Amino acid sequence: MSRRGITQIFPFLLPLRKWQRKKLFYLKMRFDGNSYARETSDISLPNTVYETASLMLNENSGFDIKYQLNKAHNLKIAAKPLNGVVIKPQETFSFWQLVRQADRHERYRDGLELVRGKIVASYGGGLCQLSNMLFLLFLHTPLTVVERHGHAVEAFLPANEGMLHGIDATISEGWLDLKVRNDTDNVFQIEVSFDDRFMYGRILSLYPVEMEYTVFNPAVSYVRQGGKVYQICSVCRTERDRASGEQYERELYINRCEIAYELPHGTLIEERGL
């Protein structure tokens, strides 16, 4: 039997615990010696390094569409302080340093998120779609990933077929952040925009980036262990020198997460013991 936390025994303490965690979370960053990116610019840097689009409304969720619409509302609020942010040499980008007070003037709505293994509606739910997109952008740059947390459970079918697996970055204020550091001599900039269906992300640079990056999954497998199904995938990257044409591949990490939805019929699942 798993040990119950103090806030599970005494739920009325949860708001106090969250307040405490957030205070310590930002206090630690204040004194960690990093210079955090805060400056934004309305003028776009001249070079596009990578750009992508993310469908906001996932019709495969199986939940009331209002939560998908609420998520889109939340994403637009959270993206405002991120849009145009400049990451200078030796600066660190932190998702929460920029988004922490995004809802000060316009409130978030209830969106869906995973809490203790269950999908629930909660204030500000759905922001992980923004951090997921940012992480994908960062993987196509020479920026150094300092902090990234994969989802322990994948709760919904992907919105689109052919999406990369294991390219996610869950965030939770006070607990989990997404951070990258600029160890180059170049300057980078993030742009986020929207239309009725899609969220768009671009990462720009002051000088052309010498390398071209391609992220891919060479292998994706599924195993059943302890009554649960897990996806295990390798996340790799091809790095090609634009001038010489030379390239090499390397594995970035192995991603493992529980799959909480029904896999397509015929999917091969390896049976493993505990």
pLDDT at position 157:
76
- Residue 272 within any structural domain of the chain: no
Residue 169 pLDDT greater than 70, yes or no:
yes
Residue 5 has pLDDT above 90, yes or no: no
Reported pTM: 0.92
pLDDT of residue 25: 94
Quote the radius of gyration of the chain (alpha carbons, Å): 20
Q: Please indicate whether residue 152 or residue 13 has the higher confidence score (pLDDT).
A: 152
pLDDT tens per residue across span 44-97: 999 999 999 999 987 766 678 899 999 999 999 999 999 999 999 999 999 999
| Of the candidates 119, 131, 136, 137, the residue with the CA atom closest to the CA atom of residue 68 | 119
Mean pLDDT, rounded, for 164-184? 96
Do the Cβ atoms of 240 and 211 come closer than 8 Å? yes
Residues 3-25, mean pLDDT to the nearest whole number: 75
Whether 271 is covered by a domain: the verdict is no
Domain with 93 in it: 8-209
* Residue 224 belongs to some domain of the structure: no
Strand-pair partners of 53? 200
In-domain check, residue 81? yes
Rounded mean pLDDT of the chain? 92
Q: How far is CA 5 from CA 12, 14, 186, 265, in A?
A: 13, 10, 45, 38
Q: 218 in a domain, yes or no? A: no
Determine, yes or no, domain membership for 249.
Answer: no
Number of domains in the chain: 1
**Which of 54-58, 216-220, 252-256, 265-269 is the least confident region?**
54-58
Does position 131 have pLDDT exceeding 90, yes or no? yes
pLDDT band at 1 (very low <50, low <70, confident <90, very high): very low
* Mean pLDDT value across residues 109-116: 83
pLDDT for 240-260, tens place per residue?
Answer: 999 999 999 999 999 999 999
Half-sphere exposure of 87 (CA within 13 A, CB side): 28
Report the SS3 class of residue 65.
helix
Is residue 78 a part of any domain in this protein?
yes
Residue 7 makes CB contacts below 8 A (sequence gap 6+) with 13, 14, 17
* Integer angstrom CA distances of residue 50 from 137, 143, 202: 6, 13, 6
* Residue 200 in domain: yes
**Is pLDDT at 159 greater than 70 in this prediction?**
no
